Amino acid sequence: MKTTIGRELSVAIDLLSKNEVVAIPTETVYGLAGNALNIQAVQKIFAVKNRPLNNPLIVHLAAADCLTEIAENIPELAWQLLEKFSPGPLTLLLPKKYIIPDIVTAGLMNVAVRIPKHNLALELLRNINFPLAAPSANPFGYISPTKPEHVLKQLGGKISYILDGGTCEKGIESTVVGFENDTVVIHRLGAVSMEEIKKVAGKVIVKNKETAKPASPGMLSKHYSPKTKIIFTETPEEFLKDFNPEDVGVIAFKKYLKQVPTENQILLSPAGDLNEAAKNLYSALHVLDSKNLKIILAEKFPDKGNGKAINDRLGRAADLS
Ligand code: TXA
Ligand code: MG
């Protein structure tokens, strides 16, 4: 199959209406989208990604008004969060209505929903009469794409169209939250920080850790993983003695390591801005992973704001590398 990168909304609409899958831009990462109400379309998403069927998908809507069409018993706190963060990188777990096929939620009672803050994605959603199920547009377990070229590299030949919406502004996935007894529970750290959610919700519980039976089954450590081995550490320089400097890649916040060639090092934000660092994270992993290095040394980021989500992703990438 030939894969085209283009900006034609009409091509994407046509394919999606025929229950085909299309890669679409969002403000977080590129998604692999299909009609969330059509079982065949959703099956294609799982097949193209090689994703296990026990890992549910996020449903994307054009506006919060459409929420009651697919979810019910929506808590007041959910509306308050939506008011503040929608459209935006916040995904809510809400009791699903019958219209959402079980395959979308992997048989769970809740459906994950979000309204993306990306003009082209929103225009697309407004011009179709069904919501879009869309996981990140990478093969299961690999690095999420933040540019059309990342999608092409990973899924080229398997899908026919990548809707080009430029580089994703946020660069890491949405924050996934659920509700337990009127308390917000963060199931996946993401582009909306815990601190921001706390300001609206008051109390927040974080259950981001992998457990034997995760409430968010996608929270397995086999995520975001490049092929090159990664060491995730507060002190990258300590590991240099074990390698030839030419074989080492570095992902750092603000400062290069003296001993390693700078072309193998990527600073995520020389200015020290954690949002900018998040935006550059996956690109850096894609670039360094294609250099045939022996090791990538990834520095621990400050444990606040988007630094928490960056550390979460790097930790998972290192776990399985
Ligand atoms: O930013 C994002 O969220 C991107 C863009 C494309 O919207 N999407 C994304 O999807 O990251 P995906 O499939 O790569 O990750 C979805 C996460 C997984 O951890 C999954 O387990 C969780 O959300 N999830 C989805 N539906 C769920 C449900 N019904 N209950 C619990 N967790 C759910
Ligand atoms: Mg993903």
Whether the ω angle into residue 116 lies within 30 degrees of 0, i.e. cis, is no
CA separation for the pair 118, 147 (Å, rounded): 14
Q: Is 26 in the pocket of ligand 1 (CB under 6 A)?
A: yes
CA neighbor of 121 nearest in space, from 79, 157, 170, 159: 170
pLDDT at site 216: 54
> Which of the residue ranges 87-91, 127-131, 222-226, 231-235 would you say has the lowest mean pLDDT?
222-226
Helix, strand, coil percentages for the chain (3-state, nearest 5)? 35, 20, 45
Q: Does the pLDDT value for residue 19 go beyond 90?
A: yes
What strands lie across the sheet with 230-233, from one edge to the other? 230-233, 295-299, 248-252, 265-267
CA separation for the pair 200, 107 (Å, rounded): 30
Q: Is 176 in the pocket of ligand 1 (CB under 6 A)?
A: yes
Atom 3 in ligand 1: which residue has the minimum CA distance? 174
What average pLDDT does this structure show over 182-197? 97
- pLDDT tens across 261-297, in order? 999 999 999 999 999 999 999 999 999 999 999 999 9
pLDDT at site 146: 98
Between 95 and 220, residue with greater pLDDT: 95
Atom of ligand 1 nearest to the CA of 187: 32
CA neighbor of 67 nearest in space, from 115, 16, 117, 133: 115
What percentage of the chain exceeds 70 in pLDDT?
94
Atom of ligand 1 nearest to the CA of 174: 1
- pLDDT tens across 56-94, in order? 999 999 999 999 999 999 999 999 999 999 999 999 999
